[in-house]
Amino acid sequence: MELVLGLVFGVIFGSILTLAKVIRYEKQVSAVLLKDMTIIKFMFSAVVVGSIGVNVLYQMGLINLHLKPMMIGAIVVGGILFGLGWAMTGYCPGTSVAALAEGRVHALFAILGMLVGSMIFANLYPYLKPIIEFGNLGKITIYQYFNVSPYIIIVILAIFAIGIFYFFETKKL
Amino acid sequence: MKERVLNPYIGGILVGILAILIVYLTTVLIGDTKFLGTSTTFVKMAGLIEKFFVHDISNQYYDKVKLTIDWQFMFVIGIFLGALISSILSGSFRIELVPPIFRERFGNNFILRAVFAFIGGIFVAFGARLADGCPSGHGLSGMMQLSLGSLLAVIVFFSSAIIFANLIYRSRR
């Protein structure tokens, strides 16, 4: 059941990503060159809608959260390395798989690189623990950190999203 | 053939709804809430490949993620299948060796593009594992849960990529 659900949801997710064109190298590189904000529009829309549903379901006690810990050292160092790699490949892990399926043969080398990168990380993991544990604040949400209701954060997020969408559309980005 | 396009806002809203369905239905049907993500699957694939060649490896990180075919593994396979089916049906499937932005900057050089994609892929996966997530796990799932670490991760991912992409693709004249 778990595996069937994973496959079905993956097919739907992959189809939406492909039809919205966010899997393309052009869209990802153009976004970080600040020329075409398609993927930002896509991500923010998804996050605003998803955060409402996820938080309502959680407050009703119908689902659990799987928060990733706020590890300042690991996220900053990892994030910088990720950004370098993302600018070079033009793909993140999910989009590389979809781009290969869309016939972008060069994405295969990105996937091979990601497998090698994962292997290197797994083998260096014991030595990386000092970075991983540096500045670890544990599993914490934005609203817990600021001690407010989650819905206040969602409203701020939505207002921010609408603001940047308006900016992107007037600038034709 | 004219490609059918899905507006990025509509695509994002659909992914938001999909994410809500995923957390709710996996909780009801499997008894465990699943959030969408992709980069852990690259570790599992890397570990399975490494285990195939070196049988008796002891690796803390592979033990931590567990080298099994799970929900997310099937989700990633689903992304590939969904992208393949929808790109063929929508007419966006095209064999591409060198993407246009890369060609403009570095010429029509497939080997160079493959090297960039491969080395970038190593940084992408290493960085994503260190930060404990990628644009799917942090950018979509983590942000929907309003996780503080995911907010930091998204800010660092984009800031770093913006800096490196401008260094790589904007040629000095």
Q: Which of residues 112-171 of A touch B (CB under 8 A)?
A: 112-123, 125-126, 128, 131-132, 137, 139-145, 150, 153-154, 165
In a domain, B75, yes or no: yes
Residue B173 C-alpha, separation from nearest chain A C-alpha, in angstroms:
17
Q: Which of A94, A76, A113 is nearest to A28 (CA)?
A: A94
Q: Which domain holds residue B46?
A: 1-95
Q: Which residues of B touch A166 (CB under 8 A)?
A: none
Nearest-neighbour CA in chain B from A122: distance (Å): 5
Look at residue B62 and tell me if it is in a domain. Answer: yes
Phi/psi for B28 (5° steps) reads: -70, -45
The 10s digit of each residue's pLDDT in A118-173 is 999 999 999 999 999 999 999 999 999 999 999 999 999 999 999 999 999 999 99
Task: Indicate whether B46 belongs to any domain.
Answer: yes
Tell me the two tokens of residue B140. Answer: 């979509």
Q: What pLDDT score was predicted for residue A23?
A: 96
Select from B73, B128, B170 the Cβ nearest to the Cβ of A82.
B128
Residue B54 is predicted with a pLDDT of 85
Q: Which two tokens stand for residue B48?
A: 């399975």
Alpha carbons B157 and B152: distance in angstroms, whole number: 9
Complete DSSP assignment for A125-140 = HHHHHHHHHTTB--S-
The tally of domains found in chain B comes to 1
Contact state of A5 with B134 under an 8 Å Cβ cutoff: no
Terminal Cα distance for chain A, rounded: 42
Distance, CA of B138 to CA of A40 (rounded, Å): 14
Whether pLDDT at B74 is above 50: yes
Please report whether residue B123 resides in a domain: no
Domain-embedded: residue B29: yes
**What per-residue confidence (pLDDT) applies to B57?**
76
Q: Provide mean pLDDT across the span A81-102.
A: 97
Q: What is the pTM of this model?
A: 0.95
Q: How far apart are CA B144 and CA A117, in angstroms?
A: 27
pLDDT value, residue B1: 45
Going by pLDDT thresholds of 50, 70 and 90, the confidence category of residue B173 is very low
Residue B126 backbone dihedrals phi, psi, to 5 degrees = -60, -45
What is the overall mean pLDDT for chain B? 93
Residue B10 domain-assigned? Answer: yes
Residue A34: phi, psi to the nearest 5? Answer: 60, 40
Contact A131, B139 (CB under 8 A): no
Residues with Cβ within 8 Å of B41's Cβ and at least 6 positions away in sequence, in order, are A93, B72, B73, B75, B76
User: Is B102 part of a structural domain of the chain?
Assistant: no
Measured distance between the N- and C-terminal CA atoms of chain B, rounded to whole angstroms: 38
Residues 100-119 (B) with a CB less than 8 A from some CB of A: 100-102, 110, 113-119
Q: Residue B56 — very low, low, confident or very high, per pLDDT cuts 50/70/90?
A: confident
pLDDT tens, residue by residue, B77-132: 999 999 999 999 999 999 999 999 999 999 999 999 999 999 999 999 999 999 99
Residue with tokens 């972008």: A104
What number is the ipTM of this complex?
0.96
User: Which of A113, A6, A27, A170 shows the shortest CA–CA distance to B126?
Assistant: A113
**Percent share of chain B, pLDDT over 70:** 96
Domain-located, residue B68: yes
Q: How many other CB atoms sit within 10 Å of the CB of residue A75? A: 31
Q: Where are the alpha helices (DSSP H) in chain B?
A: 8-30, 39-53, 60-65, 71-90, 100-106, 110-131, 143-144, 148-169
Under the banding of pLDDT at 50, 70 and 90, the label for residue A77 is very high
- What gap in Å lies between CA A126 and CA B2, rounded to an integer? 52
Q: Is B114 within 8 Å of A39 when comparing Cβ atoms?
A: no
Which chain B residue has its CA at the smallest distance from A78's CA? B127
